[in-house]
Structure 1
Amino acid sequence: MNKRFDNKVAVITGAAQGIGRRVAERFVAEGGRLLAVDRSELVHELVDQLGQG
């Protein structure tokens, strides 16, 4: 089954927390690849959680 964001890549800023994090999680859940950007070190945890490293 194709997902909405198959074969798509997004750069999401502010991805470590809040709205940016939720957008990143949803984008990956729908098949996308992610470049997560944030000043916070928490962004590394997000990347690990989503398997995007």
Structure 2
Amino acid sequence: MKEFKDSIALVTGANRGIGLEVVRQLAARGCTTLLGARDLSKGERAAGSLKGSRLK
């Protein structure tokens, strides 16, 4: 699998579903990932489920 060690990704709609899984997969491969969501509380909840990842 491809590694994304020095990469940065912005994923919109990342608080659930496919967007959240994309964030998980990118972060697992070393990508610094920014999670975008329209609802702040849902975005914070999704980010909380990803603690330990390279997430901003």
Q: Show the 5 A alignment for 1:13-52.
A: 13-40=12-39, 41-51=41-51, 52=55
Partners of 1:29 and 1:12 in 2: how far apart? 14
TM-align CA RMSD: 1.6
Paired-residue identity, %: 29
Residue ranges of structure 2 left out of the alignment (5+ in a row): none
Cα drift, residue 29 of structure 1: 0.6
Residue ranges of structure 1 left out of the alignment (5+ in a row): none
TM-score relative to the length of structure 2: 0.76
Matched AA of 1:46: A
Count residues in correspondence: 51
TM-score relative to the length of structure 1: 0.79
Q: Deviations over 1:1-53 (max 9, x none)?
A: xx611011100000001110100111101111111101132211222232325
Secondary structure class of the residue paired with 1:23? helix
